[in-house]
Amino acid sequence: MKRPRRTRSSLPDQPPSLAAPSVGGAGAFTPDALAVAPRHLEVGGEHVASFAITGFPREVSAGWLQPLLTYPGRVDVALHVEPIDPVTAANRLKRQLAKLESGRRYADEKGRLIDPQVEAATEDAYDLSARVARGEGKLFRLGLYLTVHASSTEELADEVAAVRSLAASLLLDAKPTTYRSLQGWVTCLPMGLDLIKMRRTFDTAALSAAFPFTSPDLPPADPTSVAAPSGVLYGYNVGSQGLVHWDRFALDNHNAVILGRSGAGKSYLVKLELLRSLYRGIENHVIDPEDEYARLVAAVGGTYVHLGAEDVRLNPFDLPVHTRPDGRRTAPKDALVRRSLFLHTVIGVLLGSPLAPAERAALDRAIAATYQRVGITSDPRTWTRPAPLLADLAEALETCADATAQQVAARLHPFVHGAFAGLFAGPTSTRPEGHLVVYSLRDLPDELKGIGTLLTLDAVWRRVSNPAVRKPRLVTVDEAWLLMQQSAGADFLFRMAKASRKHWAGLTVATQDTADVLGTDLGKAVVANAATQILLRQAPQAIDEITRTFNLSEGERQFLLSADRGQGLLSTGTQRVAFQSIASPAEHYLVTTNPAELAAYAESHPTADPEDSFVDLGSDGWAGDDFDSEPDGQIDLEAA
């Protein structure tokens, strides 16, 4: 075997830029020397080998070159495209069809079996000829070439074998440019020179699927940054096996909606995102209808509020009074008016139907009288006094001479003196604060889960809208269909989705009942106000509505119908990516609700506490700002 020869002279097919480097210009970027071997080059301190693609699959789809682009090693992919004149294209197709058809007839006359490859080529040629004749497409000559880089000959051999195997898996036949290694390397340089000229005819549809280059990965927020990706790790990309990081707080709004059928991994994904957002110092508030967050709260030192338990109450009459870091208390200038309007929503959810105009008028008068009876008026100095209760409102309605008011009072009887009075029987018993607060609704009767969700959302909103504390927050409403069934509750959720961005907060709406969310205008508005939309496996009965609402392609539709547990589609407007959620063993134990896994863990750890802490987040290091002046729209109650 001959030794590779070193050359500085220009070869016959070598462009002038590969001559000895000149002072300035392009010569400053050329290597000092090239060692040319039959199948590879030594370019400076690198070893490179080039390949020409001679065989292609019969059909290609969008992004069919993506596996080559995401190869972990260094591979240069060059695509040379040259249009073919329509007249020339028509004549060549005519000659090709004549060859194929004559070959088929000759085989028939001799009684030979039909060659499947010839049969497929004939059908493709007829279809392509018809599309070109109708002007639906054009023909192009396409050359596809690869150059593999390595630091040594041994490493180059391994990389070449891996790249050729990858090409073979894509039905691409990669042939080495033997004795033309220099021309192959030049062809892959960004110079627009095709010195190999091994081309294949492509039509418009096939070419458009290859150019521009596409990738299933989400684009980084700053492509020039070398810093680690920000946001939360959702899992790995199903198409490229890369990691899927997403930062909701880098978008125009921070809301997210997660839709999936029961058992698709919806709550699992919500809890994973919650746990990983705690690492970033984001405060989380969760409405938990099924008591699924107990282990997670215990592990991270959060606060758990069991609504429906004895002496656990949230009084809807409380005014939104905020305490500043310096101890002073402030409230919005229209706090009393807004609280009165919110009480209309509360009563509407309690009664299960919108109020008639006469009922709203009677209720409005009774609310004003109820506040006045406890000394709370339009004077802000009175807003720190103890708030009235639902029983006080019912009494005001009963003592009113209006028959409509008395009828409303009668409908409120179960929530004041009846079976559902426990939630409203006294003032607010807890004001939880911390990096994670979970409100459990499991102990509430089904008839009170709607109002329980509304009251907890109101309590969370007071915390989120507090201008004295500035930090990112996430509010998660699990099984949001409980609230979406009530028009008043859906309206409150919609207002929260629109306003949360102004307070550096994001709303997460997760539900398995897609019809209740997409079946109303308010539900669709909540989805439209979510910049991050995650679709998990869907039921066949709901896929048509999902397809129309999210404008899914046929491939995305089939993916959602056949997705495994934990697989989903992350949509962020113009970008979509299919991913598989992943968790470490410690995270999996904290977020799983699989009874079989929990029972198996209990058997293998008989002495373990089911609420053992696996994660120690520590302090988030946040220091609240000390504001010298009152925020806009706020009044100092002590100075009023």
- Contact status, residue 511 vs residue 518, Cβ threshold 8 Å: no
Task: Work out how many domains the chain is built from and give that number.
Answer: 3
Distances (CA, A) of 468 to 99, 206, 282, 325, 498: 81, 58, 16, 7, 21
Position 161 scores a pLDDT of 93
Range of the domain at 585: 252-314+436-618+631-640
Domain boundary among 379, 406, 427: 427
pLDDT tops 80 at residue 508: yes
Confidence of residue 31 (pLDDT cuts 50, 70, 90): confident
Q: Who's near 266: CB < 8 A, 6+ residues apart?
A: 258, 259, 260, 510, 511, 512, 536
Domain boundary among 427, 453, 482: 427
Tokens representing 180? 């033309």
- Contact status, residue 438 vs residue 305, Cβ threshold 8 Å: yes
Residues 73 and 178 in one domain: yes
d(CA 222, CA 229): 9
pLDDT tops 60 at residue 136: yes
Position 337 scores a pLDDT of 86
Confidence of residue 183 (pLDDT cuts 50, 70, 90): very high
- 348 in a domain, yes or no? yes
Position 231 scores a pLDDT of 80
- 94 in a domain, yes or no? no
d(CA 206, CA 215): 16
Residues 150 and 258 in one domain: no
- 238 in a domain, yes or no? no
Position 486 scores a pLDDT of 66
- Contact status, residue 377 vs residue 367, Cβ threshold 8 Å: no
- 277 in a domain, yes or no? yes
- 100 in a domain, yes or no? no
Tokens representing 571? 């949509």
- Contact status, residue 568 vs residue 534, Cβ threshold 8 Å: yes
257 bridge partner residues: 509, 533
**Residue with the larger pLDDT of the pair 346 and 87:** 346
d(CA 61, CA 134): 23
Mean residue pLDDT across the chain: 79
| β-pair type (243-246, 200-203) | unpaired
DSSP string, 395-443: HHHHTSS-HHHHHHHHHTHHHHTSTTGGGGSSS------SSEEEEE-TT
Position 514 scores a pLDDT of 73
Which of 582, 550, 617, 529 lies closest to 245, judged by CA?
Answer: 582
Confidence of residue 5 (pLDDT cuts 50, 70, 90): very low
- 593 in a domain, yes or no? yes
| Average pLDDT over every residue of 448-455 | 82
Residues 10 and 60 in one domain: yes
330 bridge partner residues: 322, 636
Residues 329 and 276 in one domain: no
**Residue with the larger pLDDT of the pair 238 and 216:** 238
Residue % of the chain over a pLDDT of 90: 10
Residues 28 and 143 in one domain: yes
What is the residue whose two structure tokens read 């909540």? 526
Residues 338 and 374 in one domain: yes
Distances (CA, A) of 275 to 272, 426, 465, 474, 569: 5, 34, 23, 11, 21
Position 221 scores a pLDDT of 58
- 398 in a domain, yes or no? yes
Tokens representing 429? 């018993």
Confidence of residue 227 (pLDDT cuts 50, 70, 90): low
pLDDT tops 50 at residue 615: no
| Average pLDDT over every residue of 604-608 | 65
Residues 153 and 262 in one domain: no
- Contact status, residue 172 vs residue 234, Cβ threshold 8 Å: no
Position 157 scores a pLDDT of 93
| Average pLDDT over every residue of 204-215 | 71
Residue % of the chain over a pLDDT of 70: 83
DSSP string, 164-198: HHHHHHTT-EEEE-TT-HHHHHHHTSTT---SS--
- 274 in a domain, yes or no? yes
Return the DSSP state at 152: S
d(CA 296, CA 587): 9
| Average pLDDT over every residue of 48-72 | 84
pLDDT tops 70 at residue 6: no
Q: Who's near 275: CB < 8 A, 6+ residues apart?
A: 296, 300, 587, 590, 591, 615
Residues 44 and 154 in one domain: yes
Confidence of residue 47 (pLDDT cuts 50, 70, 90): very high
Ranking 161-175, 552-566, 590-604 by mean pLDDT, the lowest is 590-604
Confidence of residue 29 (pLDDT cuts 50, 70, 90): low
**Residue with the larger pLDDT of the pair 328 and 369:** 369
Residues 306 and 282 in one domain: yes
CATH number at residue 357: 1.10.8.730
Distances (CA, A) of 267 to 360, 457, 591, 594: 38, 19, 8, 11
Domain boundary among 151, 185, 210: 210
Confidence of residue 45 (pLDDT cuts 50, 70, 90): confident
| Average pLDDT over every residue of 339-350 | 87
Residues 461 and 415 in one domain: no
Most confident by average pLDDT, 7-16, 103-112, 150-159, 526-535: 150-159
| β-pair type (283-288, 436-440) | parallel
Residues 383 and 441 in one domain: no
Q: What is the pLDDT of residues 273-327, one digit of tens each?
A: 999 998 888 889 888 888 888 888 888 888 888 887 777 888 888 887 766 656 6
pTM: 0.61
Residues 332 and 309 in one domain: no
